[in-house]
Amino acid sequence: MSDCLIEEQPEPGMIYAPDIWNRIIASAHKYAEPGIAFIDQVNRHNHMMASMGPIYASNPCGEQFLHFSNSCNLGSIDLSKFYEKHGDGTNANECVNWERLAHTTHLCTQFLDNVIDACEFPLDSIDDVVKRTRPVGLGIMGFADLCLKLQITYGEPDSIALMDKVMGFVRKESWKASLKLGQEKGTFPEFEANREAYAKFLYEEIGISRDVPLTPRNYETTTIAPTGTISLVAETSSGCEPNFSWAYVRQDTIGTRTYVHTLAAEALGITVDQTDEESIKKAAQFVVENEDKLPKHFISALNITSKQHVQVLAAAQKNVDNSVSKTCNGAKDDTVESVDELYRLARDLGCKCVSYYRDGSREGQVLTSMKAEEKKTEDVQTSEDTVGQNQEYMVVEKQKEASEHIERPRELQGSTWRIPFDGQNLYVTVNHNGEKVMEVFATGPISEGVGLLASKMLRGGFDVKDVARSLNKVTATHAVWF
């Protein structure tokens, strides 16, 4: 989304910008897509403009805006591991081991620079651009857990100040490391063509002393990635995100697993063995039953306002070379207007991109909070807060319920309807055996696969209402119904 698209009246032949904006906002509210990238803000901080031109897009998560054929090169430091309690344990200046964090930042920057030379890239064009720019994307995880240890409430002013301080520190130390590497190994090849931009950036914005030679080894050094999987391995909070929940179910391609937050369990006076599934499940149930007894600074993602999410995002973006991947969570009853305000606030605060997720706006969400009371039934659970709401899961369970496959008779009766759809005509044929619907054929702007799938489900013993209910969840640019 460019500045002119939002603010200026369209030239002849152009689409009226507010129409696009309103459609984006409405879709984000309903489906949690799309996020927005403010591309002019991205290019205001593009120090490679002189030799490589503007940037046009990012990776799907939004933390890496790259020139054509470039590659991200990511690593993350777990901030919570640098907490050392002194005094009452709430003073970040005393309780964060800044010296050790600086050493780790230098080590990680050097490591990621070495990764560039160790990698074999899939295309010559990628190898060429990466070697000419030498991108390093060092970021953080464990920020929310650091807040917990410091007894800071995520989203409150103290947490925003902490983000500003810690990410600013990591960024400056990473650039110090890159400048030192540049003295030892040489600058990145595209540097000379962009020397003026980097002199202003490093000396004036980052605050590097002018006594330090201008020898950057890398064209950038910092970003903040989602760190979803690696944060699970490290048993820490992901990226710059708040903790999603203190006990939750995660569903992915590997399966469904229960997680419980160690610090929450300890705050309630229990221990958990994170290598033992039974221990995890017992601790998780205890935590959800006693969540109201947690200290006030234990606040999860859905209890933080979307405005607070954006303010933390902005504090992180202020201290990152590239961009930040962060989801701004919203409540189920958020309005379209509140999403509009959130996206505009992100732009006003200098964010390069922003994404929004309204609780319950997607089925089969990866993370689902556990509840203190969960009803167990033999059928598929219908609560929006259960894993059973996932569509694939529903299909598997319904297949178990179907007694047997119903063979298609040689002859069926049916009717065909012509339905105006998306500026075209959709032809839907429904055939039955006199007692129940057996098959559906659809031709037009929807894939014939929908009809085939519906027919298979019907002949597999599914109730026609269940099939229609599932197909009503298909989305498009216009209303879709079955």
Q: Where are the domains of the chain?
A: 1-241+302-358, 402-471
Above 70 in pLDDT, residue 479?
Answer: no
Fold classification of 1-241+302-358 is Anaerobic Ribonucleotide-triphosphate Reductase Large Chain (3.20.70)
Q: Is the pLDDT of residue 281 over 60?
A: yes
402-471 CATH: 3.30.390
Question: On the CB side of 211, how many CA atoms lie within 13 Å of its CA?
Answer: 1
Q: Which amino acid, residue 290?
A: N
Which DSSP symbol is given to 194?
Answer: G
Lowest mean pLDDT among 16-30, 420-434, 461-475: 461-475
Residue type, 214: L
Give the span between the Cα atoms of 113 and 187, in whole angstroms: 12
Query: Can you give the pLDDT at residue 379?
Result: 42
186: left (phi over 0), alpha (psi -120 to 50) or beta: left
Q: Is pLDDT larger for residue 470 or for residue 55? A: 55
Is 254's pLDDT higher than 70?
yes
Say what the pTM is.
0.76
The whole-number average pLDDT for the span 173-194 is: 99
Give bridge partners of residue 58 from the DSSP assignment. Answer: 65
The 10s digit of each residue's pLDDT in 340-390 is 999 999 999 999 999 999 988 876 556 666 666 554 444 434 333 433 334
Question: What pLDDT is attached to residue 117?
Answer: 97
Q: Is the pLDDT of residue 128 over 70?
A: yes
379-427 residue pLDDT tens: 434 333 433 334 333 333 444 444 455 777 878 888 887 776 555 667 7
Could you give the residue numbers annotated as active site?
Answer: 59, 61, 63
Tell me the pLDDT tens digit for each residue of 311-339: 999 999 999 999 999 999 888 899 999 99
Is residue 414 helix, strand or coil? Answer: strand
Residue 377: the pLDDT is 42
Residue 393, pLDDT score:
36
Spell out a b/e string for 258-272, using b for 16 or more CB atoms within 10 Å of the CB, else e: bbbbbbbbebbeeeb
Please, which residues have CB within 8 angstroms of residue 190's CB and are 6 or more apart in sequence?
48, 51, 52, 132, 133, 219
Residue with more model confidence, 87 or 479: 87
pLDDT score of 239 more than 80: yes
Contact 349, 326 (CB under 8 A): no
